[in-house]
Structure 1
Amino acid sequence: MLIGKKIFNLQKSYGPKINLKYSIKTSREIGAINMKLNSFKQYDLVIFDCDGVLIDSNLFKCEAFGKSVSEYPDNIVESFVDHCKKTFGVSRYVKFREFFNEFAIESFDETKYQLFLNRYANLCKGLYHEADLTPSVERALSLLNHSGYKLFVASGSDEEELIEVFEKRNLINYFINIYGSPKKKTECVSVILEDNPGLKAVLIGDALSDLEVSKEHNLDFIYMSKYTVQSKEQDKICRNEAKIVIDTLEDLF
């Protein structure tokens, strides 16, 4: 896939215009960027995880899980937070259900469950606006977008929250669509692939759950390691099985 391919119309009515500060302007720059995009020429479509790939939010979100169940003893909260780190990418809807049986050792309580979800959602709204974007996010998205790649987000985070945050942070128009929970990440990827038959896709993620989703759908996986919060063992698996390992998106360009 070469620079100059027809640009997809991503100017959605509900979001701001793409930040053209990152537009490609000179033929010399186009040539240099084309060389760096060689590894992407085999793909038509790029699927991004959000947390730890586009936004440096992993640690904040792990802390938010703990704060959401803070009335429980410290050892239970700490064990739950550690579990959340090891299963990053799995949605809150699953994790808070697991909390009852696996950590609090009590029967599921719908009222408490909704309370935990509401607390977590309120914490996330604040942290998403405070957390930094990962290095060169806008440049990477702009280069890929203007090179004709179809860009999507498939995340374990809440879909409505993601759309709101991406609108406010002027990122939304880089993407064809943004998908998140309550759908599982594998379901999000299924929707993307079903809507784009015949196109070759790559998934960029920072967790073992992302690698597993890529395997399930027979996709190449790019492992972005800098902001991962998973265990050393999980990190090693991702490094060994990824098509490419990068520190941040800067390494792609």
Structure 2
Amino acid sequence: MILSNFKVIFWDFDGVIKESVGIKTAAYLGLFSGADEALIRRIRLHHEEHGGVSRFEKIPLYLEWAGIKPDADTVTEYCDLFSKTVLQAVIDSPWVPGAKEYISANSGRQRFFLVTATPQEEIEEILSNLDIESYFENVFGAPKKKTDAIRETLESREILKSDACMIGDSETDYTAAKGNGITFILRKTAENAKLQKFCEGETLSDFLNE
């Protein structure tokens, strides 16, 4: 019962609430489906090692690698295509086992905040479709940085750092939690094997026993 020790929980979304990390990976690769294998491999590795980083940072970088000038119009075009590709697929993706049940059962006794790299309007639409938006006091999506979202919430809500934790599956989540002095709980996945090796503290695979 790791989570019961905390009054406040900051949740990541992809890979923590929904099993949607693979959907995002496929979408990034699909944007450059005609590229050579070396570029595809480079994009896959970068995305998997930088989970939790916004598409607004990744897509301009991948365009540069592909030899495409990442001007504003081109970045917007690729980001829009990415969004159209992933939105419904994320909604339809499987829940991380026990996540929905834990959130719905405990939102009355714990305070939940969502921090994600998914764009603000998109994550709000996803949560509305999943009918779980009411469980979170605040939802923070891109372009808001996770570190800033946590810091501002702790300060504005006068939350003790010892009362709060962050559940994430990426180095970005780990850095956001540690940078704010709160406990980090790693949701272990096949994609974050490297993070598991150096991540200190509690881990979980699902929420079935929480």
User: Are the counterparts in 2 of residues 211 and 221 from structure 1 also a CA contact under 8 Å?
Assistant: yes
Instruction: Name whichever of 157-166 and 83-92 sits farther off.
Output: 157-166
User: Are the counterparts in 1 of residues 20 and 93 from structure 2 also a CA contact under 8 Å?
Assistant: yes
Match of 1:136 in 2: 98
Match of 2:4 in 1: 40
Which of 166, 181, 184 is equivalent to 2:142? 181
Residue by residue over 1:35-58, the C-alpha shift from the partner in whole angstroms, topping out at 9 and shown as x without a partner, is x47x533x2211000000001100
User: Are the counterparts in 1 of residues 17 and 100 from structure 2 also a CA contact under 8 Å?
Assistant: no
**Whole-angstrom distance in 1 between the partners of 2:157 and 2:39:** 44
- Do the aligned partners of residues 173 and 228 (structure 1) sit closer, same or farther apart at CA in structure 2, a change above 3 Å counting? farther
**How far is 1:138 from its partner?**
2.3
Instruction: Name whichever of 48-57 and 117-126 sits farther off.
Output: 117-126
TM-score, with structure 1 as normaliser: 0.76
Match of 2:131 in 1: 170
For structure 2, which runs of at least 5 residues remain unmatched after alignment?
none
**Whole-angstrom distance in 2 between the partners of 1:179 and 1:117:** 19
Match of 2:32 in 1: 69
Question: Given residue 205 of structure 2, which amino acid in structure 1 is its aligned partner?
Answer: D
Residue by residue over 1:89-133, the C-alpha shift from the partner in whole angstroms, topping out at 9 and shown as x without a partner, is 0000011122234x2255433332112101111012121122011
Which of 85, 91, 95 is equivalent to 1:123? 85
Which of 89, 96, 110 is equivalent to 2:72? 110
Q: Secondary structure at the match of 2:139?
A: strand
User: Are the counterparts in 2 of residues 207 and 235 from structure 1 also a CA contact under 8 Å?
Assistant: no
**Whole-angstrom distance in 1 between the partners of 2:133 and 2:186:** 23
- Do the aligned partners of residues 40 and 118 (structure 1) sit closer, same or farther apart at CA in structure 2, a change above 3 Å counting? same
TM-score, with structure 2 as normaliser: 0.91
Q: Secondary structure at the match of 2:87?
A: helix
Which of 183, 191, 197 is equivalent to 1:229? 191
User: Are the counterparts in 1 of residues 13 and 114 from structure 2 also a CA contact under 8 Å?
Assistant: yes
Aligned: 1:211 with 2:174: yes
Match of 1:93 in 2: 56
Aligned: 1:198 with 2:137: no
**How far is 1:197 from its partner?**
1.2
For structure 1, which runs of at least 5 residues remain unmatched after alignment?
1-35
Question: Identity, % of aligned pairs?
Answer: 22
**Whole-angstrom distance in 2 between the partners of 1:235 and 1:120:** 29
**How far is 1:70 from its partner?**
2.6
**Whole-angstrom distance in 1 between the partners of 2:37 and 2:73:** 22
**Whole-angstrom distance in 2 between the partners of 1:209 and 1:119:** 24
